[in-house]
Amino acid sequence: MISFIRRRIVVPLFILCIIFIGLFIGGFIVFSDRVSTLQAPDLSEPADGIVVLTGGYSRIEGALDLLKNKRGERLFISGVHSSTNRNELQRVTGGDATLFECCVDIDRSALDTIGNAAESVKWANANHYKRIIVVTNNYHIPRTMFELKRASQDIEFIPYPIINTNLKDGNWITRGLVVRVLFVEYVKYLGAVIRYQLPASLSDATASLLHRIKG
């Protein structure tokens, strides 16, 4: 009898675990293929402004090129370290000093992607911008867009992926470091999606956990 009851419990649980693992791995493959095939959008029609999230190689440089080419009126750099001043940031990124002085705004309060989204929406609303180009690395685009759309439904966000490694041929799966970056970002993305399905107290706890894994 006990053996029968165990089978009635263990077998369904085992099957559920297999299904969960399959869905998780399948979701990771879909996520990775999606971000590895992202391309720069058509920007023949300039946006109102440009937002770039710090934290990845070449992000700010790419956003400054867009600003220089008049794809937006102003640039908002979100998540700059509190000890980094404007002149140092301009020098490190090789940005034009005049352009930095006239058309670049800097945010030092955002500590993670959630904060980036909140501060970017505040900036856009303060400038009455309704169409924003969002610059970040390709692997970071899904979570960034999710947080931005959660923060505002009234602004059109245009994802502009920075691509440092060409992975369009699907060879990401053979590159250990790339798989690690994609996997960590996939887990964070799932955490962000799940967080908004939870009650407020659990949602805050999840947000705190995501922040500990470097936002």
- Those residues of the chain that have pLDDT short of 50 are none
- pLDDT attached to residue 184: 94
DSSP letter, residue 173? G
Q: How far apart are CA 116 and CA 80, in angstroms?
A: 10
Please name which of 93, 119, 92, 125 lies closest in space to residue 107, comparing C-alpha atoms.
Answer: 119
Q: 103 phi and psi, to 5 degrees?
A: -135, 15
Provide the whole-model pTM. 0.84
- pLDDT attached to residue 63: 96
User: Which of 3.40.640.10, 3.40.50.620, 3.40.1030.10, 2.40.50.140 would CATH assign to domain 49-162?
Assistant: 3.40.50.620
